[in-house]
Structure 1
Amino acid sequence: MAEDLRARLKNCLSNDELKLIRAFDVIGDIAIVKLPEPLLPKKHLIGKALMEVQKNVKTVLNQVSPVKGEFRTRELEVIAGENRTETTYRESGCDFKVDLAKAYFSPRLATERLRVARLVKPGEVVVNLFAGVGSYSIIIAKHSQAARIYSIDINPHAFEYMQTNIRINKVGDRVVAIHGDAREVVEKELAGRADRVLMPLPELSRDFFDVALKTLKPTGGVIHFYDYGEEPDIFGPSTAFVRIKAAERGFEATILGARRIRSYATRCYHIVLDVGLKPVG
């Protein structure tokens, strides 16, 4: 997609400027770009060109701040098209309504969401500690025979969209939306309930690994632990962390799978460990 955009702009930007055009995300009918400072004077030109290249795009947003804060939001600026940040996105046979300025969502996790859903066994109870607008939870409901998926998020806007998306996809019989801090929710309602726990927020996974362990049934289960890994040993530090922390809580950890999801920074990757846990003794 970036190549097509560069081709459209070749008569409007210098060669040095063209080299600064990077990949962008399309979520529903909205595109999100992250323009470096040298391109900002030409942001409206770039936004218009992107809409010409991507005919289905009705709005182009420039991300002007990193994802930050407790609610994982980012500042977005309309640089072309309709003045809005809400859209509907389709993935793996599911529809998701989301306001990109109020709740974080990435289409780059589509493959990972479906992969996890296909690992869920019939009758499992799943707990998603950081559910966002419900994408993992709803795709699991659609593509597995899980008995129940508890879907927690602290962001009130994400929670509202999660409720909407559960209705849209007609999975309210199995997906339970819960608004609150995952640590408090598990302590009060979900300790010892889960066969499988998702932690799809690498920034918080280490801080909440004890919560994930507490969520598992006494007989153990599986935790999908998302983290960042750096070359040359991408998985080693994360593996050591989960084994040590599991042992402290009386569990033996087995790494069932480890994979790079996407590049995060130079020599650094967003990764996931599928961790099997069973009580020691």
Structure 2
Amino acid sequence: MKKNLKYFLKNKLSNKYLEYVPSSFDIVGDIMIFSEFPEQLRKYEKLIGKTILDNYHNVKVVLKKTKKYSGKYRTPGLKVIAGEKRKETICKENDVFLKLDVEKVYFSSRMGNERNRIVNMVKPKETVLIMFSGCAPYPLVIAKNTKSKEIYGIEINPVAHKYALENIKKNKLEKRVKLFLGDVEKVLPKINKKFNRIAMPLPKGGENYLNLALKHIKSKGIIHFYDFLHEDEFYKAEDKIKKACNKAKKRYKIIRTVRCGQYSPGFYRVCADFKAI
């Protein structure tokens, strides 16, 4: 994919329309997804889709987003503009295979490097909890690439949970990964366990669950709190952590705050790693 899409379309679209051709897209398995597809190109979407299939040979389906992430499960609306009439695929990330429907399951391929960052921090024999575990990318990547003892995942979306169970079997990691379906606020108290490490990869609103995470983290355990913030307001992540820790009467220490993906111009997904003392 060294040559960009505009190169392949330069003899098919006028300069007027070439300007609108998106330069950014996501690849999940054999599916290409355009988050932004300008209205000006709507009458050319089939031409653009066919050009992609002719030149990007690993791509079998081309989708464009028709609705932003929304609803209880934070899933998008997607339309097939070229290729096979499906939205299910299998992708490989950090030595694990993940099967999912990209319209029915929240998943960001751009978080692959962030998941690998977490992997590199997990120590042998740790017990790890992934709140909002989706189709299980975090649990599987951690189980496959670390010597952790156990990884727990909790997911409210039944479709994502179904794929997660299938993915555990596909990757032969049933013995170390335990998955639960339901609202994390109801499921986690029933598990009645404390963890060395908790990751909270919720797209938005994770601060509402910090108090719950603090109840289930071991002393000196690490929590990875995710948020979407403007580049001038990264300090707000620590403010939210401070507020939750004060309410729970817990001491804490911020280890680092990192960018792990751009959400929109000037806005980023950030992760604040902190230790509960």
TM normalised by structure 1 equals 0.94
Could you say which residue in structure 1 is the equivalent of 2:34?
A: 33
Quick check: 1:97–1:161 contact (8 Å CA) kept in 2?
yes
CA distance in 2, matches of 1:187, 1:85: 35
Distance 1:16 1:212, change over 3 A: farther
Return the offset for 1:76: 1.1
CA distance in 2, matches of 1:156, 1:90: 22
Quick check: 1:28–1:89 contact (8 Å CA) kept in 2?
yes
The reply to whether residue 151 of structure 1 matches residue 149 of structure 2 is no
Distance 1:83 1:202, change over 3 A: closer
DSSP 3-state at the match of 1:136: helix
CA distance in 2, matches of 1:14, 1:229: 38
Could you say which residue in structure 1 is the equivalent of 2:10?
A: 10
Alignment of 1:120-199 (within 5 A): 120-190=122-192, 192-199=193-200
Structure 2 segments unaligned to the other structure (5+ residues): none
Could you say which residue in structure 1 is the equivalent of 2:25?
A: 24
Residues 132-176 of structure 1: CA distance to partner in whole angstroms, max 9, x if unpaired?
A: 100011000011111111111000000000001000111111100
Quick check: 2:62–2:83 contact (8 Å CA) kept in 1?
yes
Return the offset for 1:14: 3.0
Could you say which residue in structure 2 is the equivalent of 1:209?
A: 210
CA distance in 2, matches of 1:242, 1:181: 22
DSSP 3-state at the match of 2:4: helix
TM normalised by structure 2 equals 0.95
Return the offset for 1:248: 1.7
Could you say which residue in structure 2 is the equivalent of 1:272?
A: 271
Residues 29-83 of structure 1: CA distance to partner in whole angstroms, max 9, x if unpaired?
A: 1111131211111111111111122111111111111011111211111111111
Larger displacement relative to structure 2 (61-70 or 18-27) = 18-27
Alignment of 1:31-110 (within 5 A): 31-34=32-35, 35-110=37-112
Larger displacement relative to structure 2 (155-164 or 104-113) = 104-113
Return the offset for 1:215: 1.8
Distance 1:3 1:211, change over 3 A: farther
Could you say which residue in structure 2 is the equivalent of 1:222?
A: 222
Which aligned runs of 4 or more in structure 1 are off by greater than 3 angstroms? none
Larger displacement relative to structure 2 (154-163 or 253-262) = 253-262
Return the offset for 1:201: 1.2
CA distance in 2, matches of 1:212, 1:2: 43
The one-letter code of the counterpart of 1:96 is L
Return the offset for 1:27: 1.0
DSSP 3-state at the match of 2:228: strand
CA distance in 1, matches of 2:16, 2:244: 48
The structure carrying a bigger strand percent of its residues is 2
Larger displacement relative to structure 2 (61-70 or 8-17) = 8-17
DSSP 3-state at the match of 1:195: strand
CA distance in 2, matches of 1:13, 1:262: 31
Quick check: 1:4–1:53 contact (8 Å CA) kept in 2?
no
Return the offset for 1:2: 9.1
The one-letter code of the counterpart of 1:90 is K
CA distance in 1, matches of 2:177, 2:16: 49
Identity %: 37
CA distance in 1, matches of 2:3, 2:18: 10
Return the offset for 1:3: 5.4
CA distance in 2, matches of 1:127, 1:68: 25
Distance 1:37 1:117, change over 3 A: same
